[in-house]
Structure 1
Amino acid sequence: MRDPSRKRHIAKTITWRIVGTVDTILLSWLITGNPMMGVKIGLAEVVTKMALYYFHERIWFGIKLSKNGIIGESRKRHILKTFTWRGVGTLDTMLLSWIITGNPLTGLKIGLSELLTKMILYYLHERVWYRTNYGLPNRN
């Protein structure tokens, strides 16, 4: 039997990548002063981030801790997911920015600038998706 939650995770991956790419393009443009550099970095991330995000989402879907455990279906879970995803995402951004610009300091600046903006955006994205039942046929 196919897992219906896969549709949900694919849709979340796509919507998050749109939000994340726009943020990366704008931040990269501001830091490099070059709009085309921002576009190059943002577009380079599309493939890597979609794959990384999908696997991150699948891993977190498998984490089922009881209400007495560390996390459940709650804000705490979304905050922890936010931090784990941001770690993966920031490393990817830093490496891609370094490769594209040829400057490790620029990669570091872009990656670190994303820490705050992406964590806020990701948390909001998680909360919106938590409120929708798309891909969760058994959830009321």
Structure 2
Amino acid sequence: MADVSYKRHIAKTITWRLVGTIDTIILSWFISGDPFIGLKIGLSEVITKMTLYYLHERAWYKINLSKNGEILESKKRHLAKTVTWRLIGTLDTMLIAWFISGNPITGLKIGLAEVLTKMLLYYLHERVWYKMNFGIKDRKNN
């Protein structure tokens, strides 16, 4: 198994948060009809999402999904990470959107819209990072 540094997980956390925040701001703006609500929701999530994403990334690093001693770094693993992260992320977004907008239905709409956009964006983000060697020592190329 390749030795993965904390730098890699921090870098993935930052790049994902940039993509995720932009998506949240745009969705929240369109759903609420107010660009300031969109900005408030998107920017409020930065700290909670970066913390949750980092913890999610570290947890998945420690999960041993191995086959014959080789860790499975496959599309199936990335899909599983996508689903677990989306569950955590959607709940966080819905609660923040509800709190900021004052409307639970607005929070629900934003959270549900994000399920589609964020899963696609997250999967693509995972695939890009999988191809990169940043923060990986002694990676075996398959």
Decide: shared fold, TM above 0.5: yes
Residue of structure 2 equivalent to 1:139: 139
Task: List gaps (5 residues or longer) in structure 2.
Answer: none
Residue of structure 2 equivalent to 1:91: 91
Measure the CA separation in 2 of the matches of 1:64 and 1:134: 21
Aligned-residue offset at 1:5: 1.5
Residue of structure 2 equivalent to 1:127: 127
Answering whether residue 53 of structure 2 is matched by residue 53 of structure 1, we say: yes
TM-score normalised by L of structure 2: 0.92
Aligned-residue offset at 1:68: 6.4
TM-score normalised by L of structure 1: 0.94
Deviations 1:82-120 (A, max 9, x none): 000000000000000000001000000000000000000
Trace 1:44-123 onto structure 2 (pairs within 5 A): 44-67=44-67, 72-123=72-123
Deviations 1:15-63 (A, max 9, x none): 0000000000000000001111100000000000000000000000011
Amino acid at match of 1:34: D
Task: Flag the structure with higher strand content.
Answer: 2
The alignment-based identity, stated in percent, is 70
SS of residue matched to 1:133: coil
Amino acid at match of 2:29: W
Answering whether residue 35 of structure 2 is matched by residue 35 of structure 1, we say: yes
Pairwise CA RMSD: 1.6
Trace 1:11-22 onto structure 2 (pairs within 5 A): 11-22=11-22
SS of residue matched to 2:132: coil
Aligned-residue offset at 1:72: 1.4
Aligned-residue offset at 1:4: 5.4
SS of residue matched to 1:14: helix
Corresponding residue pairs, total: 137
Aligned-residue offset at 1:67: 2.5
Measure the CA separation in 1 of the matches of 2:18 and 2:32: 21
| Greater length-normalized contact order (CA 8 Å, ≥ 6 residues apart) | 2
Runs of 4+ in 1 over 4 A off after TM superposition: none
Aligned-residue offset at 1:66: 1.7
